[in-house]
Amino acid sequence: MTQTHCGFVAVVGRPNVGKSTLVNSIMGTKVSIVTAKPQTTRHRILAVHTSGDNQLVFVDTPGLHRKAGKAMNRLMNRAATNALLDADLVLFVTEAGRWTDEDGDVLKRLRSSGAPVIALLNKVDLVRPKERLLEEIAAVTKRYDFVDILPVSARKRDNLDALLDLIPAHLPESPFLFPTEMQTDRSAAFQAAEVIREKLTKSLHQELPYGLTVQVERYDIEDDRITINAIVWVERDSQKGIVVGKGGSVLKRVGKAARLELKQRSGTPVHLELWVKVRDNWADSEKDLIQLGYESP
């Protein structure tokens, strides 16, 4: 009987180093939303990669960050920390050519996890001159007893096949935990809410994206059409006008972009309705966060 390997691979790092881009590139589809703004990923998301005798369960986590003033930031840090506790293997993602104090903070957490760690130097396509990469690898080698160090480009998929070859040796012999056709543990409604939030984040500037979240109230499939009703929650009345835009322009633009992506992903026509509502300081209330779908610690 063929022995299978299966285990949890936590993808951790400071905000905006390319963790979600890495997971999406490995999966060949968008499992986690991606924007240029730090802390886009707010939830622990599983991405299930099954190939041959191996099932790799990637755990995409929020970026571990120092400033955890609001309840939402604390929940995000806890989600990432809890993923470390359950991991059979950790992928520590850093940005090639750029080491920060926040990278050092994440590394301190890894020391207590007990799991083997592979260091990934992401965005190597941006390193100039290429000789600098050898210096970077040498510097990383001194920081921790990594089981491997691999330069990658998540965006260009450079070296990802080599990474997939390395991982199974660090996972336990185990039956598969998920159906072979499954790609994520998140529902279609959750994914729709995330796509809407992604489009909002890309359309809005400065700090506003951190003060909003999206809650899908209705997700129905009938008569070969998907109907989605969603609420965009903001923290203050002044934010509501910005999200709606003059004459509803921003909300219309966001709704159209989200609807088109959801239609493309599902292959089904999508009817999307959005409302903007105010819930005072929702991001600093653990009760509100849990009601809005954020995980309890």
Average pLDDT over residues 8-34: 94
pLDDT tens digits along 170-212: 999 999 999 999 999 999 999 999 999 999 999 987 667 678 9
Give φ, ψ of 54 to 5 degrees: -120, 135
216 CA to centre of own chain: 19
Q: Name the architecture of domain 5-170.
A: 3-Layer(aba) Sandwich (3.40)
The pLDDT assigned to 296 comes to: 59
- The CATH topology of domain 188-291 is GMP Synthetase; Chain A, domain 3 (3.30.300)
Q: Is the pLDDT of residue 31 over 70?
A: yes
pLDDT tens digits along 21-30: 999 999 999 9
**Residue 234 vs residues 143, 209, 241, 285: alpha-carbon distances, Å:** 41, 9, 10, 13
E strand or H helix that includes residue 256: helix 249-266
The pLDDT assigned to 67 comes to: 66
pLDDT tens digits along 68-124: 678 888 888 888 888 888 899 999 999 998 999 999 999 998 888 889 999 999 999
d(CA 197, CA 104): 30
Enter the tokens of residue 157.
């998929």
pTM of the model: 0.92
Q: Return the domain boundaries, the chain.
A: 5-170, 188-291
Left (φ > 0), alpha (ψ -120 to 50) or beta: where does 123 sit? left
Mean pLDDT estimate for the chain = 91
Report the 10 Å Cβ neighbour count for 156: 12
> Helix, strand, or coil here: 109?
helix
Amino acid at 33: I
Q: Which of 82, 137, 147 is nearest to 117 (CA)?
A: 147
Q: Name residues whose C-beta falls within 8 Å of residue 165's C-beta, 6 or more positions apart in sequence.
A: none
46: confidence class by pLDDT, cuts 50, 70, 90? very high
